[in-house]
A = this chain, B = another copy of it.
Amino acid sequence: MASTLRDKNQKSAVSKSDAVYRTLKRAILDQALAAGTKLPEDSIGERLGVSRTIVRQALARLNGEGLIELRPHKGACVAQPSLEDARHIFAVRQSLETLVVDTLIGKLTPQQIRQLEAHVDAEGAARTNNTSASIQLAGEFHVLLAKLTENDVLLRYVTELVSRSSLILSLYGRPHSPDCAVSEHRELIAALDKGEREHACELMRHHIDAITTRALLKGNSEKDFPDLLAAYAREEGL
C-alpha cells in the first residue's frame, strides 16, 4: 500500500529506531506478537536488518508507553496488563476522553464532522473483517477525536491509553461486537455536532463504561493464578 512506501521513506530519512518502534508497535497491536511473547534484541535486529542499538532504543520507548515489559537482565516481552492495570487505564481514559469531548464541543467544523463520520463508516465496513482490525479502527476513532483538540499532551496520553486498551481487549475481552461501538460513535458525533455538551460527555462516559465492561467481564480463570503467586513472591522480596 501507499502508506508503507511513504512511511519507509520517512523512516529511512528521519530515524531507523522510529521504524523499528512503529513496526513492533503495529505487530503488537495486530496481535502478531501475542501478549507475553519474548522480544530478544538480537533476533529482532537480525530480522529487521538493524543493529541491537536501534532495537534497544525502540524497546525502551515501547516500555515507556507500557506496551512491553522490560525487566533488567531478562529482556523484553509484550506486556500482559493485569486486570487492575486495566481498571486503572480505563479510569484515566474515562477522565481524559471526557476532557476531549468537553474541549471539542462547539468547535468542530462541518468538515471535521464529515471526517469523523467517514471514519465511522470505515468502522462499519470493517465489521465483517477479523476482530483485531475492528478493535484497531474503533481505537483510532478515539485518537482522531483527541487529535482534533490540537492539544499535544492530551493526544499523546489518549493515544497511549488506546493502544494499551487494544492490548487489554485482545487479552481479556469477550469476542468484541463492533456494532455497538459503531452506533455509540455515531451518537457521539451527533451530540458533538449539535453542541450538546452534557449529553456528549455523558455519551462518552457511557461508551467508555461499555468498553470497560466488555474488557473486564471475561478473564477470571487462568490469568489470575500466576498473578496471585507473584504477589506472594514480592512480599518475600523475590
Binding site for B on A (CB under 8 A): 14-15, 57, 60-61, 64, 66, 72, 85, 88-89, 91-92, 94-96, 98-99, 103, 151-154, 157, 161
Q: Give the residue of B14, B57, B85, B157 whose beta carbon is less than 8 angstroms from that of A60.
A: B57
Establish whether residues B89 and A153, one from each chain, have CB atoms under 8 Å apart when the complex forms. yes
Establish whether residues A14 and B103, one from each chain, have CB atoms under 8 Å apart when the complex forms. no
> Which residues of B sit under 8 angstroms from A72, Cβ to Cβ?
14-15
Establish whether residues A92 and B99, one from each chain, have CB atoms under 8 Å apart when the complex forms. yes
**Number of copies of this kind of chain in the complex:** 2
Establish whether residues A152 and B61, one from each chain, have CB atoms under 8 Å apart when the complex forms. no
> Which residues of B sit under 8 angstroms from A98, Cβ to Cβ?
95
A92-B61 in contact given A14-B72, A15-B72, A72-B14 (Cβ < 8 Å):
no
What DSSP secondary structure best describes chain A's contact surface? helix
Q: Give the residue of B15, B88, B99 whose beta carbon is less than 8 angstroms from that of A91.
A: B99
Q: Give the residue of B61, B85, B153 whose beta carbon is less than 8 angstroms from that of A88.
A: B153
Establish whether residues B99 and A95, one from each chain, have CB atoms under 8 Å apart when the complex forms. yes
A15, A92, A153, A154, most chain B CB atoms within 10 A: A153
> How far is it, in angstroms, between the C-alpha of A152 and the C-alpha of B92 when the chains are bound?
10
**Given contact pairs A91-B99, A92-B96, A92-B99, a sample of 10 additional A-B residue pairs in the complex whose CB atoms are under 8 Å apart:** A15-B72, A57-B60, A64-B64, A85-B152, A85-B153, A88-B151, A89-B153, A91-B154, A92-B157, A95-B96
> Which residues of B sit under 8 angstroms from A89, Cβ to Cβ?
153
> Which residues of B sit under 8 angstroms from A57, Cβ to Cβ?
60
Q: Which residue of B lies closest to A164 (CB)?
A: B153
> Which residues of B sit under 8 angstroms from A153, Cβ to Cβ?
66, 85, 88-89, 92, 161
Q: Which residue of B lies closest to A53 (CB)?
A: B53
